[in-house]
Chains A and B, each alone.
Chain A
Amino acid sequence: MSIILQVEGLSKNFGGLKALSNVTFDLPEGQIMGLIGPNGAGKTTLFNVINGVYPASEGRVMLRGKDVTGSKTYEMARKGLARTHQVVKPLNELTVLENAVVGACFGRHGYGLRKATEVAMEVLQFVGLEQRAEQLAASLNVAQKKRLEMARALSAQPDIILLDEVLAGLNPSEIAAMVETVRKIREQGTTIIMIEHVMDAVMKVSDRMIVLDFGSQIAEGTPEEIKNNQRVIEAYLGDPKLAEKLMRQHEREVIR
């Protein structure tokens, strides 16, 4: 299995604030990596630095062995990296289909309008928005807008997709459907990094996980290892004993 994305010693300072310090990981092709951490841990900042929204203060990002540190967001898109936004950014006055067509036109392959429309239509079917294709993006509800974010990213047919809290604000049945969609994306061979607060879901789909706290990487491993990591539990809950109790309670509920 080849490594598709390498992040080496990545740091980002905003003035005196260290938003990220020395984050390092390798991402093998075709895997789902879960990225978790308390609010303000720097998860979205990590996406923004990988994606080129902010320049890195230190460290390198390598895509398929090539140094892409400091690339602009549109360069990253063309190199095969797509992302969704935590706070959705629909192109309101364009239709749902046009939103997806933008992704296909300007992403990885730079398709012409005709081919892009075909690709976009397929993707809309895949995420379940085909009924809404001709509607304006502004008219969608939150769950649909999250799907639209995903559709736009997928229309680019990227190698890697960064999913930023695609489950937040969804109800349980919507979450189940979305998790299914994420699995299907991986089956198509796309590598995924997902930021998520819905623990059950992200533990279920991730192959490996990374935990950030105050910008530092405090743990890395399989979901099972992360679940039992003292530092992670501390970061989330402060008191390890309480955490353990909650975890046991939770397991009992799951069994029941």
Chain B
Amino acid sequence: MKNWRKHLGLLLPLLVIVGMVLWPTVTGSVSNRESVFTILKAIALASSLNILLGYTGYVSFGHIVFFGFGGYVGLYLVNDLGWSIWTGMLMGGIASAILAFVLGKAILRLRGAYFALATIGINEAMKAFINNFDLFGGPIGMTLNFSVYKAYGGAAQALNMAFFIMAGLAAIALVISHLVRTSKFGLGLQAIREDEDAAEVMGVIAPNAKTWAYVLSALIPGMVGVLFFFKNGNVEPHVAFPLHASIELLVMVMLGGQGTVLGPIMGAFAYQGMRGYFVTSDFFKDIQLSVSGVLLLLIVLFIPAGAIGWLRHRVPALRRVLQ
């Protein structure tokens, strides 16, 4: 491990995850575990969105569609067909990835605001479809049969297990993020972000690269969806496809620093912490989302590179560490 400094960009994010897992384990507090679960979920989702938003430069306002769609598919397999949570999760991820592949072929031709609008449309269209799709319970959704938990040693045990799986998913999301960032594929994506036409002139096959980035950014959210609804015990259309959650993800990525591995972690952490405070505060609890909106506006106006991006810019010495 002589070159361990080279891997700091990955080690640091993974250490943060390990720390987060240890915190509720050591304190033995269930409420801590639930808070950390939410943060880990946010990290996994934000890091995935970052592949599209941060590396490729395509703003998706409807990324939660992959969380919802994958979640529905996975939960159906686990609940109705009796598959294990593992294969259910895998299939949920694959279903979302396939959806992204098909959608990507169609809408990734659009650029800028038009792409962003299309992603909102897709989220709403999917919500409307699921609302009317009887196999997935239509507007009522699906409720997990409690006997499913038995295979995992009962409900309490299953919930505890879900926490560790979520940590695993967050870690995988970060490894993917790091691999993309440091690979030739990722360099192509970053070239597309900076100037798509120039990138193509240099030989980057932008249509393919964008599609694969979209697929990669949909995979983990699909798996997270399955796990989340498995733990929740039920799924309904408005819980699976909340538009505001997509926007919250954008805030997290922008806040921490788009296009960096560490940024979405910091953003997810800070945003969830802030949200936790707001929803329990008498004054802020009703205007929590407006605060997020104002926050997004301030970031875009004053620190478009986000916290990590800003630090990297100001302190070049940190560039090797904060990736």
Find out whether the CB atom of B187 lies under 8 angstroms from the CB atom of A113.
yes
Give Cα A116 to B205, complex, Å: 17
Interchain CB contact under 8 A, B183 and A102: no
A92-B194 in contact (CB<8A): yes
- Interface segment, one of B18-26, B162-170, B196-204, B274-282: B196-204
Main SS class of interface, B: helix
Instruction: Tell me, rounded to whole Å, the shortest Cβ–Cβ distance linking A55 to chain B.
Output: 14
Q: How long is the Cα–Cα vector from A83 to B200 in the complex, in angstroms?
A: 11
Segment 205-235 of B: residues with Cβ below 8 Å from A: 205-206
Bound together, the chains give a CA A140 to CA B199 distance in angstroms of: 19
Please report the C-alpha to C-alpha distance between residue A98 and residue B206 in the assembled complex, in whole angstroms.
17
Which of B188, B197, B205, B206 is A102 in contact with, Cβ under 8 Å?
B188
Chain A min CB distance to B151 (Å): 45
Q: How far is the CB of B205 from chain A (nearest CB, A)?
A: 5
Q: Say whether A94 contacts B203, CB under 8 Å.
A: no
How long is the Cα–Cα vector from A94 to B259 in the complex, in angstroms? 11
Contact status B194-A73, CB under 8 Å: no
A74-B194 in contact given A98-B187, A105-B184, A105-B187 (Cβ < 8 Å): no
CB pair B204–A74 under 8 Å, yes or no, is yes
B191 adjacent to chain A (CB < 8 Å): yes
Q: Is B195's CB under 8 angstroms from A91's CB?
A: yes
Does any Cβ of A come within 8 Å of B79's Cβ? no
Roughly how many angstroms separate A128 CA and B122 CA in the complex, as a whole number? 49
A248 to chain B, nearest CB (A): 42
Query: Could you say which residues of chain B place their CB within 8 Å of the CB of A152?
Result: 202
A156 lies within 8 A of B203 (CB): yes
Given contacts A74-B206, A89-B195, A113-B183, contact A94 B201 (CB under 8 A): no
| CA–CA, A73 and B190, complex, Å | 18
Which of A82, A98, A102, A152 has the largest number of chain B CB atoms within 10 A? A102
Q: How far is the CA of A77 from the CA of B199 in the complex (A)?
A: 10
Is the Cβ of B198 less than 8 Å from the Cβ of A106? Answer: no
CB pair B191–A89 under 8 Å, yes or no, is: no
- CB pair B201–A102 under 8 Å, yes or no, is no
Contacting residue for A93 out of B194, B200, B205, CB 8 A? B194
Chain B residues with Cβ under 8 A from A153's Cβ?
A: 202
A107 within 8 A of B: yes
A231 at the interface (CB under 8 A from B): no
Q: Which A165-194 residues have a C-beta within 8 angstroms of B?
A: none
A: interface residue count bin? 20 to 34
A153 to B183, CA, bound (A): 21
B39 shortest CB reach to chain A, Å: 28
Contacts of A112 in B (CB 8 A): 184
Among residues 70 to 111 in chain A, which have CB atoms less than 8 Å away from a CB atom of chain B? 72-74, 77-78, 82-83, 85, 89-94, 98, 101-103, 105-108, 110
Q: A94 contacts which of B183, B194, B204 (Cβ < 8 Å)?
A: B194
B202 close to A77 (CB less than 8 A): yes
Q: Which residues of B contact A91 (CB under 8 A)?
A: 190-191, 194-195, 198-199
Q: Could you tell me the distance between the alpha carbons of A98 and B319 in the complex, rounded to whole angstroms?
A: 15
Pair B202/A106 contact, Cβ less than 8 Å: yes
Complex Cα distance A74/B207, Å? 10
Q: Which of A90, A92, A93, A106 contacts B188 (CB 8 A)?
A: A106
| In the complex, chain A residues whose CB is within 8 Å of the CB of B200 | 72-74, 77
Q: Give Cα A110–Cα B188 distance, bound, in whole angstroms.
A: 12
- A31 and B322 CA atoms in complex are apart in Å by 48
Residues of B within 8 A of A102 (CB): 187-188, 191, 199, 202, 204
Q: Is A69 an interface residue (CB 8 A)?
A: no
Q: Chain B interface (Cβ within 8 Å of chain A)?
A: 183-184, 187-188, 190-191, 193-195, 197-206, 259
What is the interface of chain A, defined by CB distance below 8 A to chain B? 51, 53, 72-74, 77-78, 82-83, 85, 89-94, 98, 101-103, 105-108, 110, 112-113, 116, 152-153, 156
Q: 9 shortest A-B CB distances, which residue pairs?
A: A77-B203, A106-B203, A91-B194, A89-B198, A73-B200, A102-B191, A74-B200, A73-B201, A106-B204
